[in-house]
């Protein structure tokens, strides 16, 4: 089963879960239990265009952890 990285929009907690694609909608934040989570794409901080090419590498991003 694949793993996906998510970030909670409520508390900003980043976490990785192992779920099937059909269950991604059911993912909730393990920190606050919020359902408002957004999926992160490993290795890609910003996707440009419709091809999904990487413009900015995820490493060294400007996000501040909580
Ligand atoms: Zn949260």
Full domain range(s) for residue 20: 3-44
Domain count along the chain: 1
Q: Read out DSSP for the chain?
A: --EEEEEETTT--EEEEE--GGGGGG---TTT--S-EEEE-TT-SEEETTTTEEEE-STT-SPPP-
In a domain, 60, yes or no: no
Span from the CA of 54 to the centroid of ligand 1 (angstroms): 27
Give the environment of ion ligand 1: residues with CB less than 5 A: 8, 10-11, 13, 29, 31-32, 34
Give me the pLDDT at residue 27, please.
95
In a domain, 58, yes or no: no
Per-residue pLDDT tens over the stretch 9-53: 999 999 999 999 899 889 999 999 999 999 987 655 555 555 555
In a domain, 40, yes or no: yes
- CATH number of the domain within which 24 lies: 2.20.28
Span from the CA of 31 to the centroid of ligand 1 (angstroms): 5
């Amino acid at each position: 089963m694949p793993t996906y990285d998510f970030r909670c929009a409520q508390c900003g907690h980043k976490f990785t879960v192992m779920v099937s694609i059909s269950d991604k909608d059911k993912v909730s934040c393990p920190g606050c239990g919020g359902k408002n989570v957004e999926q992160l794409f490993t290795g890609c901080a910003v996707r440009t265009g419709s091809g999904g090419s990487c413009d900015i590498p995820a490493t060294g991003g400007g996000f501040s952890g909580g």
